[in-house]
Amino acid sequence: MEGTLASHLFLFFLIVFSHPSKSQSLQQQNQEEEDESSSIISRFQQYLQIDTSHPNPNYLASAQFILSQAKTLNLDSETVEFVPGKPLLLLKWPGKNPSLPSILLNSHTDVVAAEHSKWSHPPFSGHVDPAGNIFARGSQDMKCVGLQYLEAIRRLKRSGYEPIRTVYLSFVPDEETGGHDGAEKLAEWERFEEMNVGVVLDEGLASTNEAYRVFYAERCPWWLVIRAFGAPGHGSKLYDNSAMENLMKSIESVRRFRAAQFDMVKAGLKAEGEVISVNMAFLKAGTPAPTGFVMNLQPSEAEAGFDIRVPPSADEESLEKRIAEEWAPSSRNMTFKLGQFKQRGSLRDKFGKPELTATDSSNPWWKLLEDAVKRANGKLNKPEIFPASTDARYFRSRGLPAIGFSPMANTPILLHDHNEFLNQAEYLKGIEIYESIIKAYASYVESTGDKVPKDEL
């Protein structure tokens, strides 16, 4: 009996000590998750630490980093230079049915300049503060999205998922200077047609509440330069139609128009993306002197630049008429130029339709996005018109559905601002959101009108 008891005790201790307790297993799982999250944040920091700010973005280092990530994921990669020194990276995750339209996940690698002295942490340090906020230029606009695409694909591949549709990822240069040497050339590329793109995802904006913002269109940039001319005169002389007087009349006319548009936003009658915004970008006049300007000489020329953003619903002809007749009339010795900086854009696609992506049942990609975000325990705000401009417009101009979406909730909008940051918890949650979206999109069988069975989503 004593032997039997001893045997039982031996077996008991063998079972207890050879099998970890439930709490030990949970601790191990938590540690693995922490290690994975730490690696994900580290990769994000590495990307943020590459200074791709204008006027001299380090595109080479950025390209090398993205290509190294693509290699770890076994993604096909190609580097295209439409313009020397400005590499565009095109990654490919082949689908099981390449005849179906593909998915294009677009992001830009460049960022705007940062005033280092105005930041609490160096703008290219990727510093994480005790609250988990990651400070860096590009943390919101939009290096976060590019890396989230890759991290979502990493998770999908690890789970054994295989896409039905081909998934492309484009990392493009020069979005912050208009996208002409990046996304615009990609959309016009003869091989773009061969990619058979069915839908494009591009950047959105942070949301200050718990619901994500999503965009189906955007305002078109019209960069306007107005010039006024007049006879020069002594600084003490009062006379009509001086260059500065005529320009000031124009500026006041523009100001009144701006105020009327802004009042509709303030009153809640329209969203920011639904009105025409006008902001003065520069004012140039005067005769330079060694100590500043000649003060007793009225200049013969004066010039002002305006950043105008026009929603797809606007009447282009009416706006052009207003510019020609009210803001820069030839009767006041004035001229104007739209597109001084190659930014005059169209509000209609190549088929003559407004550049809008449908957000109803006519667009299956919209419903797929909604459902995918819900499955990942997220929710969407009402779809909006993007108040500024993104590369998505170049794809919409081809008649393609393009949705602007950056999964950043409960986050202040800090693109182009000092101390731009994104909390690491929001960044990690965004990866889960993209994992759900990419899986839904890449699993959709549009040609038959059927979805893949739910157990595959």
- 318: Cβ contacts below 8 Å, ≥ 6 apart: none
143-190, pLDDT tens digit by residue? 999 999 999 999 999 999 999 999 999 999 999 998 999 999 999 999
**Do 452 and 164 contact (CB within 8 A), yes or no?**
yes
Numbered residues of the known binding site: 108, 141, 176, 203, 416
Distances (CA, A) of 389 to 41, 177, 217, 275, 392: 28, 11, 9, 14, 8
> Choosing from 174, 175, 184, 435, which is the catalytic residue?
175
Same domain, 198 and 299: no
Task: Give CA–CA dist 239/234, Å, rounded.
Answer: 10
Q: Is 110 a catalytic residue?
A: yes
Same domain, 264 and 407: no
Count of the separate structural domains present in the chain: 2
320-358, pLDDT tens digit by residue? 999 999 999 999 999 999 864 344 556 667 777 778 999
Has residue 9 been placed in a domain?
no
Same domain, 190 and 90: yes
Has residue 194 been placed in a domain?
yes
Whole-structure pTM value: 0.84
State which residues form the domain around 149: 32-218+348-456
Same domain, 177 and 42: yes
Same domain, 370 and 266: no
Numbered residues of the known binding site for Zn(2+): 108, 141, 176, 203, 416
Average pLDDT over residues 8-35: 64
CATH code where residue 133 lies: 3.40.630.10
11-20, 104-113, 160-169, 284-293, range with the lowest pLDDT: 11-20
Same domain, 201 and 123: yes
> Choosing from 110, 184, 349, 435, which is the catalytic residue?
110
Same domain, 192 and 277: no
More confident residue, 318 or 452: 318
Average pLDDT over residues 191-216: 98
Predicted confidence at residue 338, as pLDDT, reads 87
Same domain, 48 and 38: yes
CATH code where residue 326 lies: 3.30.70.360
Same domain, 105 and 206: yes
Mean pLDDT value across the chain: 91
Same domain, 212 and 280: no
Strands 297-298 and 233-234: antiparallel
Has residue 244 been placed in a domain?
yes
Same domain, 155 and 295: no
Using the predicted structure, report yes or no on whether residue 19 has a pLDDT greater than 70. Answer: no
Using the predicted structure, report yes or no on whether residue 120 has a pLDDT greater than 70. Answer: yes
